[in-house]
Chains A and B, each alone.
Chain A
């Protein structure tokens, strides 16, 4: 009897200790994440309230806000930002919604190829696509305008990209793949018999579309629209490459030039004041986004068996539909790549002609190292390995706590990990930069590749935890428990049951984050110095110097390498992990 009570209390003690251990660990992780996400934001607010150089101290002041909001130029910039963002959303949605419908519901041919090409579309960095389109549509050097001048003897350019619609067009096209994959995921959870129930009620196809399909899909579409708007307010690449020369400024461009002025001294105070607006807008939109996603979830009904909806036969519209998809893919993938390829093979940009063909050579590729040394390549490699590894490590730990433990604040941990979705990357970078400059002694990473890696990790922890949450939920707790009940130790259960089941999903996200880090330019630029250049910032510099053939050559290599890496890994991956990976 006595022994029993002793062992009982021992067991209890052990249990509470264990819970405390997990709780302590979870607490530590939460603090780390709060610091990672919160400190850069705090820095943005702090810099908006200070004047002078980072680290100079001085009293807090509202002078920056007064300067910013009393200037009429600011309102012009805000208007530009809104118009650019709205235009972008319009362009993206008008491509993404028909694409989702065509690929998910109809018998469109070549679906597999189209999926692959959309993935390639994500891998082409936005700044390269923008540059390619400039080479095509710039009023001065653009191939289309050169050609039009030759053909019709026009004295004015035929089309120009240097305006808000042009910017919205490029940015909108670039957003299509992510919007497509978000909408497709929402679409998959919708019950096709909702539509069939309308048909069997004698409702026509058109009325069904109007009264059933549209209202049911609306929360998903609206959610994606809000998300896109939020992203469009924060993007930097298109506004910088097209907007700067055209003197069309938006918020992100202003924040960047305040901290990295072409001439004069950086003014972090102004950047902070502009950033505060962007931050408030971003967080407000994020709130609406979460609300809409929740509403959309309410609309997804648990279906009986997964009866796959009948594919709608396109009939003679098949070719028109395929032409639409090809038009989109041309704008997203083919045209940018071909223009870059063409420009990379010539000594200077010119229209296709016999003369031009005679000049084609690989010279620009062979002489690349006359323009750049090995350091940016090493730095990029460091990012491609360190960023996904660090991010996924954090993500797995966070998800394990959120999905698998009963820690009371696991919900808050999940929210903190999701927050970076709503934080514009330019702000994150500027905030981190300010931290590195002002608190050099406790955060001595300014000007190193580490600060870019940290910025990237913070930025993609949201994406990482979304996938690891999904993966962990898929591995039902009972699978783990069944292992324990059959007598396997905790480590054996983790190694033999959990790990093999989650490895495929984690590896998948690892590759993606590696690729995102590889092509990222905004944060790398905002935090860039001469010592931590990466390939993407080198291309940017080349463009700034006007070295078009070198930009094109490096750009082509950049895209080919990404496609090759993802292609090889995906193929190798499907060989031995296909059945697990198919779920993702």
Chain B
């Protein structure tokens, strides 16, 4: 890998890694340390961000996931420079963009970013071509006039909108506006792409289609992406790394499979994926008593005997067999069945606790039947 040349800037949508960053800050393209932000409202100070630490490496797709008001959009807008943090530091591509302590604030227009807004923010007085060309003509990365058309063409081809150059922005469908917004954000080949719930205004089918495409495009181009969503399915399918946020803090930062398989806290377990919860209390070093009986599970260190805990298990890990005498396990009644086509959801009542079980395909079990339920001990999560 040679030194970045002038040519690498011009090469369209083919990002080369920039070794100069490696020495100073590793491959971190976004580096956030102790970011805090508060708003003064009538009811006093509201902490929007309570100290965010986050690092995004080059070409990584990082998703900020959380319910509304958790601070994910504020974090994104701080990276964009649209909000000024009250404390902490922010580095973009090795340049200090924000430092509350040193009073440094790099204005949005000087940051090497592209951004897709929730409302798409397509300029209504311009056509598609002018929307995409605007950053090249008026922005930071001005290029010679004769190259603009070619760049715009390639960007539109990337989002499969070639041929719509002359369409007025007000005549575009939601999905098309979304694509124009993508093309506009990427046309300058920014180091960092920021996306603020870009799919939330699309209908369900289009959203899934765009999700797949979005992943393809960002991977093909190799742009480092910070993506905000409240949709956990979107986060799991898109992210190389998922940060679950709540109340202005990051609760867990891990690859999606790890967030799903090993939620770090009760909130993450509740927020990501379906989960059964059972209240209980610790009775021994690896024993928990709950309405389902005494269960032998590994209790995390730090939870003392006799303290109350919440047990959690995913529906797909609840094993259900018909009670034909051969099967062992807990005995319960099937109280409802919800057939989904590729799977069936069963609600099973055991000792006054209702557990949700997800079985692949259809099953012969029906409402009113007795069933034997197995709960593998290594599938349980224990939260204080």
Contact = CB atoms under 8 A, between A and B. Distances in A.
Interface of A: 191, 193-194, 196-205, 207-208, 211-212, 215-216, 298-299, 301-305, 307, 310
A301 B343 CA distance: 40
Contacts of B114: 200-201
A200 B200 CA distance: 20
B113 to A, nearest CB: 6
Contacts of A199: 80-82, 107-109
B119 to A, nearest CB: 4
19 contacts: A193-B121, A194-B124, A196-B80, A198-B109, A198-B138, A199-B80, A199-B82, A201-B114, A201-B138, A202-B140, A203-B109, A207-B138, A216-B123, A299-B125, A301-B120, A301-B122, A302-B201, A304-B119, A307-B73
Contacts of B107: 199, 205
A215 B138 CA distance: 15
Contact of B121 (A196, A204, A215, A298): A196
Contacts of A200: 80, 82, 108-109, 111, 113-115, 185, 194
B119 A299 contact: no
Interface in B63-121: 68, 73, 80-83, 107-111, 113-115, 117-121
Nearest to A200: B115
B188 A191 contact: no
Given A191-B119, A196-B117, A212-B123, 4 more contacts: A201-B139, A203-B140, A304-B117, A310-B83
A201 B188 contact: yes
Given A202-B188, A203-B135, A216-B123, A193 B117 contact: yes
Contacts of A303: 118-119
A191 B81 CA distance: 18
Nearest first, the 5 closest Cβ-Cβ pairs linking A and B are: A202-B140, A201-B135, A304-B118, A202-B139, A200-B115
B197 interface: yes
B200 A202 contact: no
Nearest to B198: A304
A508 B295 CA distance: 66
A198 B122 contact: no
B383 interface: no
A201 B134 contact: yes
Contacts of B338: none
Nearest to A300: B124
A204 B109 CA distance: 6
A574 to B, nearest CB: 15
Nearest to B141: A202
Q: Decide if the interface of chain B is mainly helix, strand, loop or mixed.
A: loop
B135 A196 contact: no
B172 to A, nearest CB: 11
A207 B68 CA distance: 33
Contact of A194 (B82, B123, B200): B123
A545 B123 CA distance: 58
Contacts of A305: 68, 118
A102 to B, nearest CB: 20
Given A196-B117, A305-B118, A202 B124 contact: no
Interface of B: 68, 73, 80-83, 107-111, 113-115, 117-125, 134-135, 138-141, 170, 181, 184-185, 188, 194, 197, 200-201
B124 A197 contact: no
Contacts of B123: 194, 197-198, 212, 216
Given A199-B81, A201-B135, A305-B118, A298 B124 contact: yes
Contacts of B80: 196, 199-200
Contacts of B113: 200
B280 to A, nearest CB: 39
B246 to A, nearest CB: 18
A202 B121 contact: no
B121 A197 contact: yes
A570 B118 CA distance: 38
Contacts of A208: 109
A106 to B, nearest CB: 15
A203 B121 contact: no
Contacts of A196: 80, 82, 108, 115, 117, 121
Nearest to A207: B138
B135 A202 contact: yes
A216 to B, nearest CB: 6
A194 B141 CA distance: 19
B239 to A, nearest CB: 21
* Residue from B82, B118, B135, B181 having most chain A Cβ neighbours under 10 A: B82
Contacts of A310: 82-83
A215 B169 CA distance: 14
B124 A216 contact: yes
A193 B119 contact: yes
Nearest to B84: A310
B134 A299 contact: no
A120 to B, nearest CB: 25
Contacts of B68: 305
A218 to B, nearest CB: 8
A203 B188 CA distance: 12
Nearest to B120: A301
Given A200-B194, A216-B125, A301-B124, A205 B109 contact: yes
A543 to B, nearest CB: 47
A193 B188 CA distance: 19
Nearest to B119: A303
Given A191-B119, A191-B121, A299-B124, A198 B194 contact: no
Contacts of A216: 123-125
* Residue from B80, B119, B140, B200 having most chain A Cβ neighbours under 10 A: B119
Contacts of B138: 198, 201, 203-204, 207, 211
A429 to B, nearest CB: 41
B220 to A, nearest CB: 21
Given A203-B139, A305-B118, A198 B134 contact: yes
B170 A299 contact: yes
Contacts of A302: 119, 201
A303 B200 CA distance: 11
A200 B106 CA distance: 12
* Residue from A197, A212, A216 having most chain B Cβ neighbours under 10 A: A197
Contacts of A205: 107, 109
A454 to B, nearest CB: 43
Nearest to A218: B125
B358 to A, nearest CB: 32
Nearest to A215: B125
A70 to B, nearest CB: 46
A304 B109 contact: no
* Residue from A194, A198, A199, A201 having most chain B Cβ neighbours under 10 A: A201
B201 A304 contact: yes
A203 B134 contact: yes
B291 to A, nearest CB: 39
A198 B134 CA distance: 8
A203 B130 CA distance: 14
Contacts of B194: 200
A306 to B, nearest CB: 10
* Residue from A199, A211, A215 having most chain B Cβ neighbours under 10 A: A199
A213 to B, nearest CB: 11
Contacts of B108: 196, 199-200
Nearest to B83: A310
